[in-house]
A and B are shown apart, each in its own frame.
Chain A
Amino acid sequence: MSTCPRCQSTEDKIRAEHKGLNAQGELVWTIFHCNACEFTWRDSEPASTIDYNKREAFFRVDPEKPYPVIMPPAQYK
């Protein structure tokens, strides 16, 4: 998985979280997480979820965008 399916961040931003094995100990899938947009995905998911070009554009995330903050931390008030 070279880029994030949601924000297209490159490999250095992506960490492999967990490998799912079957009862025989063989690899079935891997879970990844993007440190830039905090998207989590499994490499066995349908392309409509994990392929940037097949995902609905509406759901793209730009990590640089100032997303609303729920309950802004008290010390920053």
Chain B
Amino acid sequence: MSTDKKPLSATARAVGERIGSLRDFLEFLEENGQCITWTDEIMPEPDVRNIAVAAGRDSMNGPAVIFNNIAGYPGKKLVLGVHGSFTNLALLLGHPKGTTIKELFYDIISRWGDDKPLLDFIEPEAAPVNENRITDNFNLYDLLPLYRINEYDGGFYIGKANVVSRDPRDPDNFGKQNVGIYRIQVQAPGEFTLLSIPAHDMGRHIMAAEQENVPLKISVMLGNHPAMCMFAATPVGYEESEFAYASQMMGSPLRLTKSGNGMDILADSEMIIEAELMNGVRTLEGPFGEFPGSYSGVRKIPRFKVTAISHRNDPIFENIYIGRGWTEHDTLIGLNTSAPIYAQLKKDFPEVVAVNALYQHGLTGVISVKNRFAGFAKSVAMRALGTPHGTMYLKNLIMVDDDVDPFDLNEVMWALSTRTRADDTIVIPNMPLIPIDPAAEVAGKGHRLIIDATSFMPPDKLGSDSKIVTPPAGSEIDEIAKVIQLLQNGGQS
């Protein structure tokens, strides 16, 4: 994507330099009216869930919510919705409120890469995350204001931790060190289960450790730099570093240090839980309300034992509401899901204009493409299904022309209404599919749908006697729209 790269704006650089941690970002969001504090006393259940869902309704402008008065957890702080709206992401990237999703998409594309990592390493003694160290009598129920995210979850989940692990067969390889978000269910005061599958980098580490019968040590990072969370949730290559991607996106250094068990960790995170895989042990886990909006069932999954905990003074527990969309999960992961699919398609088909894979981690995607000849968009769609993410996720794919913004559903629906023939759809049966798709015929297998909503081209004669109205469009109109919004808000952006 080197052709798309642009230097960061002065504002983006200043924001990158200012934000070194979750705390910095919360302060910045608060200054911009995008972080509120819920000070009334609430019960862990169902109040946290209710407030999180209500705050998350506005996917464009919903705020992060800090809870500081949860019954039974005096003095403890919880924050939800840090990545809950596109405005929060816009602010992180140095954009004003009102920035469109499409603008954010192109900005993330232009920052994408891991070839110029900006990483500062500091001594563990100097790292804020080591202000406090616990080495025995662990009690996660006491340290973290835990609660049930959805009413039929099997227990209390940590849903937004960034988990660092190293390849047990190549433990010194920085690139193969993985940072990922995996759901964690607390199973005992000092033990938890963690769900990964063989297709995940973490799953590979678990299987390798058990096959070699060597310990698998991990560091669970809680309350992290907001860019870290975005890349922990991004499927990057096995030998690529999420730290590198995150720092390059911000254009300013991330501070790393070593955890007590040898992982590279963020020096400014709120808490690090060091743990070790209990080789060969599998424990009942779930259900858990997952991103397709349904519960995934009860399974027996790997279990870990806590070996040490470091945390800042007055740590903030950052968690996520996840369930039937739209939720913070969709905003956190959406653009970072779309960007790699775009990059991979663009290599073979420069005609691809934009990829919207925001919906349920890409179960539905919309791709805009400059149609070269009749049927061309279908070939691009087939290629999209063959991308690493597309292989398991892109179930419904809508192809639109380059004059349609795939992030604007009104435009997408217009294309569907006016450019789709019922026989211009393709169903590919019995394809691989993520096991938690509730519509799958068999878990792990399902059908794919391609809807070609691009316009007709020669030699196709259909539609040749109609001409599209071309209303004024482009940056000039975008600017006018922003002025109108400003006037409507009484001069307040």
A residues whose Cβ falls under 8 Å from a Cβ of B: 6, 17-18, 20-23, 28-29, 31, 33, 37-42, 44-46, 48-49, 55-56, 59, 61, 63, 67-76
Contact = CB atoms under 8 A, between A and B. Distances in A.
Nearest to A65: B298
B279 A70 contact: no
A30 to B, nearest CB: 9
Contacts of A33: 155, 187-188
B220 to A, nearest CB: 18
A38 B45 contact: no
Contact of B210 (A17, A69, A70, A75): A75
Interface stretch (B110-118, B240-248, B283-291, B453-461): B283-291
Interface residues of B, number: 48
Contacts of B7: none
16 contacts: A17-B141, A18-B189, A37-B284, A38-B285, A40-B155, A40-B187, A41-B148, A41-B155, A44-B44, A46-B45, A46-B151, A56-B152, A71-B198, A71-B207, A71-B302, A74-B210
Contact of A38 (B46, B73, B207, B283): B283
B408 interface: no
Nearest to B44: A42
Interface string B67-100: 0000111110000000000000000000000000
A16 to B, nearest CB: 11
A63 B279 CA distance: 22
B45 A42 contact: yes
Interface of B: 43-46, 71-75, 139, 141-142, 148, 151-152, 154-156, 185-189, 195-198, 203, 206-207, 210-211, 213, 279-285, 287, 295, 297-302
Contact of B280 (A29, A40, A70, A76): A76
B72 A28 contact: yes
B300 A68 contact: yes
A69 B43 contact: no
Contact of A22 (B74, B195, B210): B74
The 8 closest A-B pairs by CB, nearest first: A20-B72, A40-B155, A18-B141, A28-B72, A74-B210, A73-B280, A38-B284, A23-B74
Nearest to B280: A73
Contacts of B210: 73-75
B46 A61 contact: no
Given A37-B284, A39-B155, A49-B152, A21 B197 contact: no
A30 B52 CA distance: 23
Contact of A49 (B142, B151, B300, B302): B151
A46 B72 contact: no
A67 B279 CA distance: 19
Given A22-B72, A74-B280, 20 more contacts: A20-B72, A21-B72, A22-B74, A23-B75, A31-B156, A38-B283, A40-B155, A41-B155, A44-B72, A46-B46, A49-B45, A59-B152, A59-B295, A70-B195, A70-B300, A70-B301, A71-B198, A74-B213, A75-B210, A75-B280
B301 A74 contact: no
Given A38-B154, A61-B284, A67 B300 contact: yes
Contacts, number: 116
Nearest to A48: B151
A41 B151 CA distance: 10
Nearest to A70: B301
Scoring A6, A18, A22, A71 by chain B CB atoms within 10 A of each residue's CB, the highest score goes to: A71
Contact of A71 (B141, B185, B197): B197
A38 B44 contact: no
Nearest to A63: B284
Given A49-B148, A61-B298, A22 B282 contact: no
B154 A39 contact: yes
Contacts of B211: 74
A31 B141 contact: yes
Nearest to A18: B141
Contacts of A74: 207, 210-211, 213, 280
A21 B188 CA distance: 19
A23 B213 CA distance: 46
Contacts of A28: 71-72
A67 to B, nearest CB: 5
Given A17-B188, A74-B210, A75-B213, A29 B155 contact: no
Contacts of A56: 152
A6 B153 CA distance: 11
Contacts of A20: 71-73
B391 to A, nearest CB: 20
A58 to B, nearest CB: 8
A62 to B, nearest CB: 10
Contacts of B281: 73
Given A59-B287, A75-B210, A70 B141 contact: no
A29 B71 contact: yes
Scoring A21, A38, A44, A76 by chain B CB atoms within 10 A of each residue's CB, the highest score goes to: A38
